[in-house]
Structure 1
Amino acid sequence: MPAAALVAFTAFGVTALLGGLNEAPEEPEPLGQGAVLDQGLYSTRLVESRVTVERAATRFDEDKHFVELVFDVTNKGDETRSVGIPAQKLEQAYLSDSFAGSLLKINPSFGEKAVPFTFVRTKGGDSQQLHPGVTSQVIVRYRLEGDRRPPEKISFEMASFELTTGFNNELPRWQMVATEAGDSYLPEVKARVTLPVKKGGAA
């Protein structure tokens, strides 16, 4: 056997002995408008991203412009859940079991002070609740401050949830899928989403 081949064969054997060849991690699924994502606790359809305008009530007020993310969300659990908000810090996201808490790394950023307003649109008025087995329209709304123009597209990552038991609780509960990172946990990315931002429309 040639020396080069012998070295390669030996290296392969050592690798196999120490636990086998490392498999490349699975890349998060790229998704776009209309796709449906199974998040474990939620089944989510990516409806659209759009610009909406709330017209001024008087001539002394100003029109308000928003960028909205729109989802059709089904709560697959057996308890009513809050729609929640995206975490301001990634290392805090794993603590959430809300739908909006699963939205990660939204790009472009709307600024540190741009906390979104999230709600469930219902026939009887806006709500903060996702009821079991019910498909609801969820809107995550960011206000465009000053003369800021809306982006052409918006991208974000989405986490998922699993039913698991804790150290001090034998009853299974839904938790965000996350991996340990130092003193905290970071959510595992289930999907990467890119949506075009549609212009126009009243809030």
Structure 2
Amino acid sequence: MTEPSGGSNDRPRRPVVVPAIALVALTAVGVTALLGGLDEAPETPEPLSQGAVLDQGMYSTKFVESRVRVEKAKSIVDEDKRFVELVFDVTNKSDETAMVGLPAEKIEQAVSRFGFAASLVKISPAFDKESGPFVFGLVKGDETQQLQPDVPTQVIVRYRLKEGQRPPDKMTLDVASFEEGTSFLNATPTWEMVSKPVGDKFYPEIKARVTLPVKQEAGT
């Protein structure tokens, strides 16, 4: 076969100049594609710190503090116990008695849990199962597992530290919220955790990310 006529292909090609603004646009498109598109890019939850008050729909919650608490031994056969505690001031804004509740072990389990503490969908750093969490409310010094309507209640979430275990410097909480909807079965108004579908599961929407420094007790 003979080569087609019409001149040599060995001439140097002229460089193609791409404007800088086009490169920036292409980079932005690439990042957006990695995030799943403009409408699916994850939202950054509201950052909060100690003392902040969050409207969770069903609850008004103040993030009081995180601290190390020591319970002294009550007898010679007992031993001192150390805990990392998360302290909240919670007011139930609904018309019904609510439960203090428990955080879920996995974030996808949170939407089916009841009670305030279920909205603490991620607590970092994580503790093992033997350490807790132990959760209770305090009203006028008395422990309770209920949150009465419009009654401010201090809620304690605590984890026991092992002997010699160093407490973390800070605790970070991913917190969800609740919205009032209608029950599918009987059209009764009910409060449910705000969630969104991811694949074949529902995950809570994170309304706020709260960072609390851990206050050390003297001698701990």
Q: TM-score range, shorter-chain basis?
A: 0.7 to 0.9
C-alpha displacement at 1:78, in angstroms?
Answer: 0.4
Change (3 A) 1:165 1:193: same
* Paired position in structure 1 for 2:83: 66
* Paired position in structure 2 for 1:15: none
Amino acid at match of 2:190: R
- 1:77 corresponds to which of 65, 88, 94: 94
- 2:71 corresponds to which of 54, 58, 81: 54
- CA-based RMSD: 2.4
Q: Distance in 1 between matches of 2:104 and 2:145?
A: 16
- 2:120 corresponds to which of 87, 103, 108: 103
C-alpha displacement at 1:134, in angstroms?
Answer: 1.2
Counterparts in 2 of 1:150-161, with a 5 A limit? 150-161=167-178
Amino acid at match of 2:109: Q
Identical residues among aligned pairs (%): 60
8 A contact 1:66–1:141 mirrored in 2 = yes
Counterparts in 2 of 1:13-28, with a 5 A limit? 22=39, 24-28=41-45
8 A contact 1:154–1:196 mirrored in 2 = yes
Runs of 4+ in 1 over 4 A off after TM superposition: none
- 1:115 corresponds to which of 127, 132, 137: 132
Normalising by structure 2, we get a TM-score of 0.78
Q: Distance in 2 between matches of 1:157 and 1:65?
A: 24
* Paired position in structure 2 for 1:179: 196
C-alpha displacement at 1:138, in angstroms?
Answer: 0.7
Q: Structure 2 unaligned runs (5+)?
A: 1-18, 20-24, 26-37
Q: Distance in 2 between matches of 1:179 and 1:155?
A: 22
C-alpha displacement at 1:181, in angstroms?
Answer: 2.1
Higher RCO by CA contacts (8 Å cutoff, separation 6 or greater): 1
C-alpha displacement at 1:25, in angstroms?
Answer: 4.7
* Paired position in structure 2 for 1:92: 109
* Paired position in structure 2 for 1:34: 51
8 A contact 1:97–1:161 mirrored in 2 = no
The CA deviation string for residues 3-27 of structure 1, in whole angstroms up to 9 with x for no partner, is: x9xxx9xxxxxxxxxxxx6485542
Q: Distance in 2 between matches of 1:182 and 1:25?
A: 15
Q: Distance in 2 between matches of 1:41 and 1:97?
A: 12
Q: Structure 1 unaligned runs (5+)?
A: 9-20
- 1:188 corresponds to which of 201, 205, 215: 205
Secondary structure at the counterpart of residue 118 of structure 2? helix
* Paired position in structure 1 for 2:155: 138
Paired positions, count: 187
8 A contact 1:96–1:175 mirrored in 2 = no
Q: Distance in 2 between matches of 1:30 and 1:169?
A: 38
Q: Report the more deviating stretch, 130-139 or 118-127.
A: 118-127
Q: Distance in 2 between matches of 1:73 and 1:35?
A: 12
Q: Distance in 1 between matches of 2:53 and 2:204?
A: 20
Amino acid at match of 1:102: S
C-alpha displacement at 1:189, in angstroms?
Answer: 0.2
Q: Distance in 1 between matches of 2:82 and 2:203?
A: 33
